Amino acid sequence: MAASYASSSVIAEDVIRRVVERFYAEVRKDPLLAPVFEAHIADWAAHNDRMCDFWSSIMNGTGRYSGRPLEVHRRIGSVTASHFERWVNLFKEICETSCDSQDRDRLVTAAQRMRTAMSHNLRA
């Protein structure tokens, strides 16, 4: 998933951090998502830092993230389309209260594309 959704407008790093931290705080409370994440993440601060690098790379082309998200999700094994659907809907809710409309639209569009790609590739 090396796709970049970077455009000429940059999403401020503090906006990315705010979205990531609020999102994963909600993930940890979500009845569908929490069990999957809690089983695989021991250090939430490190995870959030990595996700900030991921979103900065995807949205702003910073190149701070290096990894293979598809392979990580394959190793989990129990991730279904319903998990991705809940993930993107929760992400959208967080973006609606954490960003201006331009940043929200860009982030949500990228998340929806990731959901589609990940769901498709995990079935393959």
- pLDDT per position as a tens digit, 42-99: 999 999 999 999 999 999 999 998 887 666 656 676 777 888 899 999 999 999 999 9
- Within 13 A of 67's CA, how many CA atoms are on the CB side? 16
Close Cβ partners of 86 (under 8 Å, ≥ 6 residues apart) = 30, 32, 33
pLDDT (tens digit per residue) in 1-57: 445 555 568 999 999 999 999 999 999 999 999 999 999 899 999 999 999 999 999
Structural domains of the chain in order of their starting residue, each with its CATH number: 13-123 (1.10.490.10)
The single-letter code of the amino acid at 19 is V
Q: Which residue has the higher pLDDT, 26 or 123?
A: 26
Quick one: tokens of 93?
A: 């809710």
Cα of 67 vs its chain's centroid, Å = 13
Query: What is d(CA 27, CA 22) in angstroms, rounded to the nearest whole number?
Result: 9
Tokens 């929760």 locate to 90
Phi, then psi, of 102 in degrees rounded to 5: -65, -50
What is the residue type of 99?
Answer: C
**Cα–Cα separations (whole angstroms), residue 36 to 39, 47, 83, 110, 111:** 5, 14, 9, 22, 19
Entry pTM: 0.86
Tell me, what's the pLDDT at 67? Answer: 80
**Local structure of residue 100 (DSSP, 8 states):** -
Place of tokens 């790379």: 57
